[in-house]
Amino acid sequence: MINMDIGKAIDGRFSCREFKNKKISEKDINKILEAGIKAPNAGNLQCWKFVIVNKEEIKGLITKAALDQRWMMQAPVFIVVCSDLKKLKTYYPGKYKLYAIQDTSLAAENIMLMAHSLRIGSCFVGAFDEKAVKRILRLPDGVEAYAIISLGYPDAKKSTKRNSLNYSLSVNKYGES
């Protein structure tokens, strides 16, 4: 059982873009993915699909499709978070694309928080050529990629700051405090 205060996990997690040359165990990858499948999701349909990428050649192709963000290649593992749109569309014909985005984002956050609890760094990558990633991973029709999460042991410390809550907060109506 993981024993990390959730507040510390949320506060300590950051978008890590520098990784050590150290493999992640299969046991830890499984813990991380188990956290992903425990995320809330539309109608409890659990339409997420995960593709683990750990071969250098495929990581290179994914990195190129992700606007050639070369720092990604340092990470030993990518998890590509996908959604089965056919299944969602059956139950939610008007909202399935929105629900796919929401479901995969919730799963991704759980994945990144669990990784952090295991002292594994992560970075959510949303900027990528969806068609290229679909082709590279041979995703079937109706399954689309929504996020790439790079994972690895951090070789950097958190350095970003956040705005105060007051900057983002309204009460009852937008713009009212």
**CA 46 from centroid of its chain's CA atoms:** 16
Backbone conformation region of residue 2, classed left if phi is above 0, alpha if psi is from -120 to 50, else beta: beta
- Domain borders along the chain are 10-154
Distance between CA atoms of residues 72 and 40, nearest Å: 28
**Three-state SS letters, 24-70:** CCHHHHHHHHHHHCCCCCHHHCCCEEEEEECCHHHHHHHHHHCCCCH
For residue 1, what pLDDT is reported? 53
Q: What is the pLDDT tens value at each position of the chain, 177 positions in all?
A: 556 688 888 888 888 999 999 999 999 999 999 999 999 999 999 999 999 999 999 999 999 999 999 999 999 999 999 999 999 999 999 999 999 999 999 999 999 999 999 999 999 999 999 999 999 999 999 999 999 999 999 998 887 788 888 889 999 999 888
Structure tokens at 118: 């295991």
What CATH number labels 10-154? Answer: 3.40.109.10
